[in-house]
Amino acid sequence: MITPKRVLQCLCMRQKKVVAKERYLKLLKVVSDFNRAHGWDPLPSDIAKSVVIEAAELLEKYQWDETDRERHGLPNPKNKEELGEEVADVFWYLVTLCAKEDIDLLHVLKDKLRKNELKYPTKKFKGKHNQEFYIAQKRKYRENRKKK
């Protein structure tokens, strides 16, 4: 199982950290160059909408899985190529948005993982989803936001 802690470990391995950042920056440049060469310079709000639209297309690949599981015992197998294309679309728009808004995706991901570990400590979950704790934390978070 991939955990936030494991993702953070992978991103932060000293010997691979620079290589990962370089690969990300090269990929970002390729996407940026492609967008520029095609005259694609949408507003950040349009890019954000596109992230959601593409994520919905990814979700569509899983439509009716629960119904199929209940009726037939197994969901339909997924076409990995189609899934990969939708994931790539989401990522494409996400990195485009980050470039447009000057957001360091790797930095904010690392920061978010740290915050989530503080907000949802592993010891409260023990490898299983703790719905009660999760809901209580969400409620506390929303109440604190209202106070600001």
pLDDT at 55 over 90: yes
Give tens-digit pLDDT for 113-137: 999 888 888 887 777 777 888 888 8
pLDDT value, residue 18: 72
Alpha helices (H) along 38-130: 44-60, 65-72, 80-100, 105-119
pLDDT value, residue 71: 74
Measured distance CA(104)–CA(24) in Å, rounded: 10
User: Confidence band (pLDDT; 50, 70, 90) for 138?
Assistant: confident
The answer to which of 8-17, 94-103, 104-113 has the lowest mean pLDDT is: 8-17
More confident residue, 42 or 24: 42
- Specify the DSSP element, H or E, that contains 127: none
Measured distance CA(55)–CA(91) in Å, rounded: 9
Arithmetic mean of pLDDT, 31-58: 95
- 105, 23 contact by CB (below 8 A): no
Tokens of 61: 């690949």
pTM of the full predicted structure? 0.73
Kindly tell me the burial class for residue 93, based on how many C-beta atoms sit within 10 Å of its own C-beta (0-12, 13-18, 19 or more): buried
Measured distance CA(38)–CA(92) in Å, rounded: 14
Arithmetic mean of pLDDT, 9-21: 64
